Structure 1
């Protein structure tokens, strides 16, 4: 029996065709921890909570159909060990060293022959700390959906009881798989993130609010159209050709409340 396949949506295919060595189409997320993570427990958690979404077990497959040239196909040789990697942060193990390492990850394409995600577990961050660097291709889902996916892997409290059994796989499309448990994710999001993100996820649990969001999006589209009519920016030291090598940096948290 051949592996299960499904056509890739036009929107997802756009991200795939935009892939370029100087502009890789994946999201890089960083989760910081005060202590080392148990690699075996991390893999078990991902198997139970992340792999319930079919897309994280599917690879790209080229099709002969001109209208749907790309499909998602279940990877018959899927191995979570090919997606979770561990390494030690080079000395001195500080923030600058971590940023350089993440810059290397941001410059390296994902393996297109496997499901389009990887997690790099970095040990020795600021002494006994660790970091999980998550790379997920935009073709899997947009940024908002990926926020939910990452939150679905986390517990709401440090003393939460972890259930070893994997939950039953959600039925239907990948979007439907995201929709079914969205209320729980929204609850977690409101605890862990700011209002802007929780309001965005609120659209998943209150579809009627999409109308208001569409009006806002229409205004943004009009503003974007005006921007497209503007001339090119003046040459400055901040402009230049895109390169393959990327540099990553972040600042201390900035309060968004007024």
Structure 2
């Protein structure tokens, strides 16, 4: 097992994030452009001019409280670099790009009383050195070594006495993979020994700080040329119309949306739990992480054009097919089996980059894992997506999450356990930059991330496009699936089969 270099966090074992609750507002970005760089390593609130405390928002509090010893609510991401960068330059870039976000210099203050509200406060001992760490794996480190390291991190909490994020700089990482291009996919796959002695940045951020969209924006802001990208939003009609709609119309739309959401939740509560599979067994503390080889985005678009499907629908169908192939030897597996996947849905509008926090809803997506035929499986996914897009499900779940962030902890625990019995996995898909980016002059070869899970859900599947390629990141509980590479490999096979079928 690869071991990190000794550091503050490793000498003092991380403490578990307190299970606490609260609510509040977003912060404004602080301008640090005129502050001396030696002072920017320290929290702006240290000393006599401490900033006021800000309570956690209800949504942020909800994600803080679902953190468990066997299921950490921490988003993990990786940036792989073509060549290494001096660690001092890495830290300097982090200071310049991350410190303008006040939330990233703040820690959580636990209330003294049971019914108190937790707050953000500036960390008086903030130093970029306490948030970063150099890691040396085998020399050189390959994908399996890095996967093992990332899986081990997923078992750990973050120290509660400082901001709930940490970045590891992995030296001498060598990337070797099989790459599939559209013109070569007919012959299966072409082994391209694409390797270079580079490095990797492993980023861990607690979900109470930011959701996946906000985190991706932060990661991309670290590049030499931060890209201008937008993400689709599933805000309801009244949210899009905003102030242009009359008060009466907004009230009518809000009432109709609320009524449909209540009806949806009533049906959801009486619906069956997900069928028992290996992924419904109790969770342990040991986690595994893996990622697929890169797949050409043009191949995926070609599948979509041939079947009138979107890139997102093609990816979800391939993920369902991969999961079905892994499960087909289970005694519970049967033809036509469907498992629910929890899909995060962006509810942000055109908000500034400084708006961290959590603003997303959830939808429960039927995953047709028991349909072997790729065309029939894609048709089923397309039908489900059409239904979801026409429903207020995401907004309803966002309201529910905010409510869970305000109720006593024991009530939230019951709610999370109830909802987690209705799903088998968390799955998400994001479109990243179309062009290659750079970090301190070194080309960023790939960007990947792993979505956290909650309750008794231990399977996470995360898809991200970057620079014309797509990768799948998979995280599993070792008691449910010891080798998540099985899912990643079947995902590649499902896409190859769909591509060949469309030719």
Across the aligned residues of Structure 1 and Structure 2, the Cα RMSD in angstroms comes to 3.0
How many pairs were matched up? 215
* Matching of residue 152 in structure 1 with residue 193 in structure 2: no
**Aligned-partner SS, 2:88:** helix
**Which ranges in structure 1 are unaligned for 5 or more consecutive residues?**
157-184, 191-197
* Matching of residue 110 in structure 1 with residue 179 in structure 2: no
- Structure 1 residues 111 and 238: alpha-carbon distance in aligned structure 2, compared to 1, 3 A threshold: same
Question: Matches of 1:142 and 1:231 in 2, distance apart?
Answer: 29
| Alignment-derived partner of residue 285 in structure 2 | 244
Q: Deviations over 1:129-167 (max 9, x none)?
A: 2110000011111111111111112122xxxxxxxxxxx
Question: Matches of 1:35 and 1:133 in 2, distance apart?
Answer: 15
* Matching of residue 232 in structure 1 with residue 301 in structure 2: no
Q: Deviations over 1:160-203 (max 9, x none)?
A: xxxxxxxxxxxxxxxxxxxxxxxxx6xx154xxxxxxx333899
| Alignment-derived partner of residue 140 in structure 1 | 209
TM-score by length of 2: 0.39
**Aligned-partner SS, 2:201:** strand
Question: Matches of 2:261 and 2:200 in 1, distance apart?
Answer: 36
Once the 2 structures are TM-superposed, how far is the Cα of residue 225 of structure 1 from its aligned partner?
A: 6.3
- Structure 1 residues 69 and 202: alpha-carbon distance in aligned structure 2, compared to 1, 3 A threshold: closer
| Alignment-derived partner of residue 94 in structure 2 | 46
**Aligned-partner SS, 1:154:** coil
Deviates more, 1:88-97 or 1:127-136: 88-97
Report if aligned partners of 1:8, 1:68 keep a CA contact under 8 Å in 2: no
Once the 2 structures are TM-superposed, how far is the Cα of residue 208 of structure 1 from its aligned partner?
A: 4.0
Report if aligned partners of 2:79, 2:200 keep a CA contact under 8 Å in 1: yes
Question: Matches of 1:3 and 1:80 in 2, distance apart?
Answer: 19
Q: Deviations over 1:103-147 (max 9, x none)?
A: 011111111111010000111211622110000011111111111
Question: Matches of 1:145 and 1:108 in 2, distance apart?
Answer: 22
Report if aligned partners of 1:22, 1:244 keep a CA contact under 8 Å in 2: yes
Question: Matches of 1:53 and 1:35 in 2, distance apart?
Answer: 28
Once the 2 structures are TM-superposed, how far is the Cα of residue 229 of structure 1 from its aligned partner?
A: 3.4
**Which ranges in structure 2 are unaligned for 5 or more consecutive residues?**
1-47, 175-195, 244-252, 305-503
Q: 2:109 aligns with which of 57, 61, 68?
A: 61
- Structure 1 residues 228 and 29: alpha-carbon distance in aligned structure 2, compared to 1, 3 A threshold: farther
**Aligned-partner SS, 1:238:** helix
Q: Deviations over 1:59-113 (max 9, x none)?
A: 1112347765200010111111011100112356211111001001111111111
- Structure 1 residues 225 and 150: alpha-carbon distance in aligned structure 2, compared to 1, 3 A threshold: farther
Question: Matches of 1:36 and 1:60 in 2, distance apart?
Answer: 34
| Alignment-derived partner of residue 168 in structure 1 | none
Q: What is the 5 A alignment of 1:90-239? A: 90=138, 93-126=141-174, 128-156=197-225, 188-190=227-229, 198-200=230-232, 208=240, 226-239=267-280
Report if aligned partners of 1:7, 1:68 keep a CA contact under 8 Å in 2: no
- Structure 1 residues 201 and 231: alpha-carbon distance in aligned structure 2, compared to 1, 3 A threshold: closer
Which structure exhibits the higher relative contact order, with contacts defined as CA atoms closer than 8 Å and separated by 6 or more residues?
Answer: 1
- Structure 1 residues 155 and 220: alpha-carbon distance in aligned structure 2, compared to 1, 3 A threshold: farther
- Structure 1 residues 210 and 26: alpha-carbon distance in aligned structure 2, compared to 1, 3 A threshold: farther
| Alignment-derived partner of residue 79 in structure 1 | 127
Report if aligned partners of 1:91, 1:97 keep a CA contact under 8 Å in 2: no
Report if aligned partners of 1:30, 1:132 keep a CA contact under 8 Å in 2: yes
Question: Matches of 2:153 and 2:61 in 1, distance apart?
Answer: 23
Higher normalized strand content (fraction of residues): 2
Report if aligned partners of 2:140, 2:197 keep a CA contact under 8 Å in 1: no
Once the 2 structures are TM-superposed, how far is the Cα of residue 38 of structure 1 from its aligned partner?
A: 1.7
